[in-house]
Chain A
Amino acid sequence: MSKEFNQDVVTKMAKLARLELTAAEVNEFGNQIDKILDYISVLNKVDTNNIEPLYTPLDIENRYTAKFSPDTTNSASTAQALVDIAPESMGNHYLVSKVITEK
């Protein structure tokens, strides 16, 4: 058991990911993820000296500049259509909870 993923770490990650967790979830996920990380540590056995990381299966190629014409607007959806499907909106603005509170 690595015990790397203890409850403090779960709580910290939940905050970073903006996820609400119950106390039971913090406990349960902590144990489950700890076990998964333990399993994943098998990768430490692999010699990756001088191996370039592979981030995508494709050969990376810039398709925009060389071959195609400069930026043109070609939007599948209008701004208004996008705002209209929001849970709360006003005009063409999204509405959210207050960020700045009075002291």
Chain B
Amino acid sequence: MKSFTIAGLANSLRQKKISAHEIAKETVDRYKNDPSNSVIRLNEEKLFEQAVAADKLGYSNNAPWLRGIPLGIKDNIVTTDTQTTCASKILEGYQSTYNADVVNRLALAGALMANKLNMDEFAMGSTGEYSQFGAVLNPCNKDYVAGGSSAGSAAALKAGIFAGTLGSDTGGSVRLPAAFCGVLGLKPTYGLVSRYGLVAFGSSLDQIGPLAHTVDDLAAILEAVAGRPKDKDSFYWEQDSTLSPVQNQPYRQALVTAANKKLNIGVLDLESLSKQSVVNDEIENRQNELISFLTKKGHKVSKVAIPSIQYSVAVYYIIAVCEASTNLARFDGVRYGKRCSSGNLEEHYTKTRGQFGAEVKRRILLGTFALSAGYYDAYYKKACQVRRIIKNDFINTLNSHDLILSPVSATTALRCGASTDPLQTYLNDLFTIPANLAGLPALSIPVGRDKNSMPIGAQIVGRPFDEVTLLSVAQSIQTEFYKEAEVENAI
């Protein structure tokens, strides 16, 4: 079964080889036969409605690039036409009264949606096993996890159901599943993509990001949702006051101009991380082969040490859980979601919130503790101080380097059921967390397979709002170093 790429579908539509209606039909078919449990729900009626409307508008050369193409949307991004549940029982039946900004912008760009992708409950998890709607399996091998928390965003893409998807990334939740499943995944610079309509987990860390098979496709999704549109007024910031004033730019075009630029690449010195993480040999070897390739291409490659990264897991698992304990306080069964009615009001709250899964409860408890009287300074404030140190170290490194190369994680995809210790699972996020703490753009790129044929990813972190450099390097890697089979064989 061939995978879709956005460019492949867009060209086929323009050459009249296929219609949006046929694409939608194929999408529904693949969703119904999906062995990876990557899609939580798909509103067939709405999808066909959107497809018919797209076909009616047609595919002239002036038509928006994404017209007629179904894209997958993570279940924590709200839409009016399909329920949003964050893979949690507490939001069963929740139908949002408004669309997320990214959804409105994708609709304007012609994309079809009417679906929600499976994920770890409330984006808390890194394997995809914490969904209350069943675990997401890795399409490369169903004995392995897809990674999380945007598990469905990576798996539905790899399984060929959608040509592109949106996920969200708070500590690596787009990049890790992308690496485990062998697709591209980008966490944009904090403030580039609106969080209006993204169910908040860690508000100072969350970013919505695209996943795709090719760099051109990734750029196509990004340019539809990123940056301030020219005609936006103050309401834009009323929706999300953390948005940057950076303007929308045409990333696909920018890629062409940025190609062949010679860069200063810093390779993260793993020794400097004080044995926090022992990276799997195959991942390290593959990274070394990648470094040789980049050197041959004329880039200046050197080692960089950022020792403060060794504290990033500790910092994150205070800040993220603190923000989460506040953000999830709104789920009380009063205004939306599934309520567990009981005697008095307090029981109503505790029983309703008792519907949260174990990982969500753990994080709320920890966050409540770290923010409580007597502990706030020792935990939350301290973590925020170390956060500044980590951010400063990254900014300093990026003064003399265009980007920083590292593994995405110490291992490739884990086997299903292997993650039993929460703390051990948290340590998998060591390499992805720093970009969220510092607000920097970070991209996960497939660079090979291990001896079990599971995908290996590499990560590049760049300067604020310099997504173009990251995309351009990824394109060079995908064209001349390594590409996954789907990229060759796509429709």
Q: What sequence of 0s and 1s flags, for each residue 299-324 of chain B, a beta carbon within 8 Å of any chain A beta carbon? A: 00000000010010111011000000
Question: With A and B bound together, what is the CA distance between A2 and B238 in angstroms?
Answer: 44
B334 touching A19 by the CB < 8 A rule?
no
Contacting pair B361 A54 (CB below 8 A)? no
Which segment, of B111-119, B213-221, B384-392, B467-475, faces chain A? B384-392
> In the complex, which of the residues B365, B385, B388 contacts A19, with contact meaning CB atoms closer than 8 Å?
B365
Q: Is A51 within 8 A of B334, CB to CB?
A: no
**When the two chains form the complex, which single residue of A35, A53, A77 contacts B423, counting CB atoms closer than 8 Å?**
A35
* Assembled-state Cα–Cα distance A51/B383 (Å): 11
A1 on interface, CB distance cutoff 8 Å: no
CB neighbours of A68 from chain B (8 A): 234, 237
The answer to whether A86 and B334 touch (CB under 8 A), given A74-B238, A81-B97, is yes
Interface size counted on chain A using CB atoms at 8 A: 55
Given contacts A53-B385, A88-B339, contact A21 B423 (CB under 8 A): no
Known interface pairs A20-B350, A48-B382, A87-B339. Does A53 touch B388 (Cβ–Cβ under 8 Å)? Answer: yes
Q: Are B391 and A54 in contact (CB under 8 A)?
A: yes
Residues of B within 8 A of A94 (CB): 334-335
> Which one of B365, B366, B386, B423 lies within 8 Å of A43 (CB-CB)?
B386
- A87→B334 CA distance, assembly (Å): 7
A58 near B439 with CB under 8 A, answer yes
- Across the interface, A58 reaches (CB within 8 A) one of B242, B339, B372, B388, namely B242
CA of A98 to CA of B382, assembled, Å: 41
Closest to B350 in A: A20
Shortest beta-carbon distance from A53 to chain B in Å: 3
Chain A residues closer than 8 Å to B313, beta-carbon distance: 39
Q: Does A76 contact B (CB under 8 A)?
A: yes
| Contact status A85-B98, CB under 8 Å | no
Partner of B386 from the list A21, A48, A78 (CB cut-off 8 Å) is A48
A residues near B383, Cβ cutoff 8 Å: 43
Q: Given A46-B389, A63-B241, are A19 and B361 also a contact pair (CB < 8 Å)?
A: yes
Q: Identify which of B2-10, B154-162, B341-349, B483-491 touches chain A.
A: B341-349
Q: Check B94 against A96 for contact (C-beta < 8 Å).
A: no
* CA–CA, A74 and B382, complex, Å: 39
- Cα of A56 to Cα of B343 in the assembled complex, Å: 41
Per-position 1/0 for A25-39, Cβ under 8 A of B: 100110011011101
Given A18-B350, A68-B234, A97-B348, do A87 and B338 touch, yes or no (CB 8 Å)?
yes
Within 8 A of A (CB), among B385-409: 385-389, 391
Q: Is B150 an interface position by the 8 A CB rule? A: no
For B381, give the chain A residue with the smallest CB separation: A53
Establish whether residues B311 and A43, one from each chain, have CB atoms under 8 Å apart when the complex forms.
yes
Residues of A contacting B336 in the complex (Cβ-Cβ under 8 angstroms): 85-87
Q: Which positions 342-386 of chain B face chain A at CB distance < 8 Å?
A: 342-351, 353-354, 356, 358, 361-362, 364-366, 368-369, 372, 379, 381-386
Q: Which of B308, B356, B384 is close to A53, meaning CB atoms less than 8 Å apart? A: B384
Chain B residue at minimum C-beta to C-beta distance from A28 = B358
Q: Quick check: B339 and A63 within 8 Å, CB to CB?
A: no
Q: Which of A55-103 contact B (CB under 8 A)?
A: 55-58, 63-64, 67-69, 74, 76-78, 81-82, 85-88, 94, 96-99, 101
Complex: how many Å from CA A37 to CA B366? 9
Q: How far is the CB of A10 from chain B (nearest CB, A)?
A: 7
Supply 7 further A-B pairs (C-beta < 8 A) apart from A48-B389, A76-B97, A81-B97: A17-B353, A20-B350, A29-B365, A33-B362, A43-B314, A58-B191, A96-B345
Between-chain CB contacts (< 8 Å), 5 pairs:
A14-B365, A17-B365, A17-B368, A53-B388, A85-B335
Interface on A for B, CB 8 Å cutoff? 5, 9-10, 13-14, 16-21, 25, 28-29, 32-33, 35-37, 39-40, 42-44, 46, 48, 51-58, 63-64, 67-69, 74, 76-78, 81-82, 85-88, 94, 96-99, 101
